[in-house]
Amino acid sequence: MGGWRRRFDPSASAGVPAHVTVLVPFLDVARIDTAVIHDLRALFGRHSPFAVRFDACRRFPDVLYLAPTPDQPFRALTEAVVARWPEAPPYGGQFKEVIPHLTVAHDQQGQVLDEVETALTVRLPVTADVASVSLFVCDGELWHPYAEFPLLVA
């Protein structure tokens, strides 16, 4: 999947690894202090780790993505962060419904998306264990890991 993302998802070359977004945009980096980090650690620590399976390609306009099953744990993480920071709605409030997804190709024409989907479908399913949430920040050009928060801290 990494090769497809590097070729067809501009965020990959900006330092963003394959992921399912919990919340973007979050707070401006100037607002992320020790209290925010503490709150995020506590918030994510209340959620259990989970297994996820990506077994289907789906689309938004000009986007090909993998759909996670189950998607409810991702939705619950997003809802928890938004409940704590309502001033940071998902995608700036641009969409009525947030659909958890792993972007493979973005800003591409339909024919490119068709080709990537055909090649990717035979490699599915992809499985993963989700045990933490990473916070990335952007310096204006590239994204960098800032903090990592384990799920269900005992």
Task: Write the pLDDT tens digit of every residue in 109-147.
Answer: 989 999 999 999 999 999 999 999 999 999 999 999 999
Class of domain 2-150: alpha beta
pLDDT, residue 153, reads 66
Tokens of 91: 């995608």
Tokens of 145: 């890991």
Query: What angle in degrees, to the nearest 10, is found between the helix axes of 34-44 and 72-84?
Result: 150
pLDDT interval class at 154 (50, 70, 90): low
